[in-house]
Structures are given as structure tokens and as C-alpha cells.
Amino acid sequence: MNVVDVLEGRVVIRAMPAAIFPYLVEPHLLPLWSPTEARVTRIGRRKSGVGTKLRVEFVAHGLSPVEYEIIYQGATQLVSRFMGAMSGEDIWTLTPRGKQTEVYNQMVFHEPDFLTLVGWKAVGRTIAERDMRHKMPLLKRAVEEQWLPEANP
């Protein structure tokens, strides 16, 4: 498939990659820092690692759910494939720098059908860019404050 767009985000977090990874893969932690995700659930029996599948439902009405599948997970990188109206890869690279980690997120979008592409160019990209700008500082806050749903209602 052809790449139609790429969005990038970057933040430095006062934590090591092992403390950050759960916020990228655990269904109960993802909505804490990603403002457009209303509900995240696991699909299938796999609980972690390559092959784990997640279903993401969004806050905005009219957006269809998206399924993510982890296709690579190493000590400092996580790659997921997402499928829905738009498809592509969600790539997270965590680079330790002393007691901090530089977190880099790259979302690579594949070319969708014509109508979805028109919607992406009209409003979808603007919404996705805004989401990327907002979620990176929220991820930093969640990890640095060890913000867990049961600890902070």
C-alpha cells in the first residue's frame, strides 16, 4: 500500500522505557493519556507481546472503531498495525537518555479508499494532528505521576 501521510510526536519523560511501555499497550491505561480513545479492549486470548490485538472505540460520534495488532515489541520499540477506515502503522521508539527517555511516535497512514481519503484531507488530518499534539504531554504526565485509574478517579 502507498503511504498517504505521516504524523510525528516527541516528548521527553522522566522514566525508563519499562515504566512507559504499559501506558502504550494496556487497555485500561491508554484512555488516560489519549483523549480521542473512549474505550480500549483486548481481542483474542493473547495478553501481551507480538500478536496482541486491541479494539479502540473513539469519543467522536461517527468514527468507526479501529483494531491494533502488535507486530513488533522490543526493549525500546513498539510497532502496531492498525486497521479501520484508515490503516497503517503506529511506531513508538523509546530512547533512554540517563534517567529520562525520549519518546518518539510516528503514525504512518496508508492510502484508503477515495471517500475516506477526501475526508482525511478535509478534516481527518487536522483532528489527528491535534490529537498527537495533546496526547504526548498527557503521556508524559501520566507516566511521571504514575497515574493509574484506581489511584486517581
The residues near 141 (Cβ < 8 Å, ≥ 6 apart) are 33, 147
User: Tens digit of pLDDT for each residue in 9-58?
Assistant: 999 999 999 999 999 999 989 888 987 887 888 898 888 889 899 988 87
Q: What is the pTM of this model?
A: 0.86
pLDDT per position as a tens digit, 72-109: 999 999 999 999 878 899 999 999 999 999 999 999 99
Grid cell in block for residue 18: 519499562
Neighbours of 84 (CB within 10 A): 17
- Domains of the chain listed by start with CATH number: 3-144 (3.30.530.20)
